[in-house]
Amino acid sequence: MSVLVLALIAGALVGLALGALGGGGSVLAVPALIYLLGFPPAAATTASLIIVTATSLTALYAHARTGNVRWKAGALFAAAGLLPAAAAGAAASRLPQPVLTAAFAAVAALAAVTMLRPSRATADPAADGAKPAKAAGTGAGLGALTGLLGLGGGFLAVPALVTVLAFEMQAAVGTSLLVISANSLASLATRGAGTAGIDWTVLGPFTGAAILGAWDGKRLAAKVTGTLLQHTFAVMLLAVAAFMLIDALT
């Protein structure tokens, strides 16, 4: 199978994940870029940020059209992660590649476990909503993950927005895309040197397919239960995490 076809298939899957779940695309993008398309780990995390930024902005527009984005709360949540994202992005290029790979595998496994666990959080319209200390801490942690590993952090942002800020699920998915976009842009701003090793003839089709996939993911989310989507995605993530961890340790 040609590299171009692999890039288009991987991009479509990344877009579907972001459009349907409000996150998780970058957890697929990085291993696809490394193992299917031959990117070095440092270049793969930078390329992932480019893909996730473009795709998240597209999906954000789609969700905003249906009123599923809480702009004020999302902006405050994202603001806490901007400096950590920029700082971690600058530090990422100095870490050994096996360390990046192992860290990414651990986070992918955490994402899978989070998605497989039954959700006990429900939105409460009467709740206080914003808990500033928790919101700031969670936002900063997501920013650091984005900068270090090229992750958008949506797989953590969605449950955090539901539990910390008492968002209903649809608003959490839409608002997480705002957080992902802001964190990814902040991290990209510090990664100028990280573009070495990126094959733009592969990255372009990958990103284009991801953007189109995000629209399909938004439509898919309206037809398939969120639980089925999450569990299917989580099983795939566990397989990816196991493969990457074995690779990092051998």
**21-60 core/surface letters (b: 16 or more CB in 10 A; e: else):** bbbbbbbbbbbbbbebbebbbbbbbbbbbbbbbbbbbbbb
Give the C-alpha separation, 38 to 57, whole Å.
26
**106-137 core/surface letters (b: 16 or more CB in 10 A; e: else):** ebbbbbbebbeeeeeeebeeeeeeeeeeebbe
Burial classification of residue 101, based on how many CB atoms lie within 10 Å of its CB (0-12 exposed, 13-18 middle, 19 or more buried): buried
Q: State residue 123's pLDDT score.
A: 46
Tens-digit pLDDT string for the chain (250 aa): 688 999 999 899 888 877 777 666 777 888 889 888 988 888 888 898 888 888 888 888 888 988 889 898 888 888 888 888 888 877 777 778 788 778 878 877 887 787 677 655 444 443 444 566 777 787 888 788 777 776 666 666 777 777 677 777 778 888 888 988 888 888 888 775 556 678 889 999 999 999 998 888 777 766 766 677 667 777 877 887 888 788 777 7
Nearest to 108 by CA among 238, 249, 248: 238
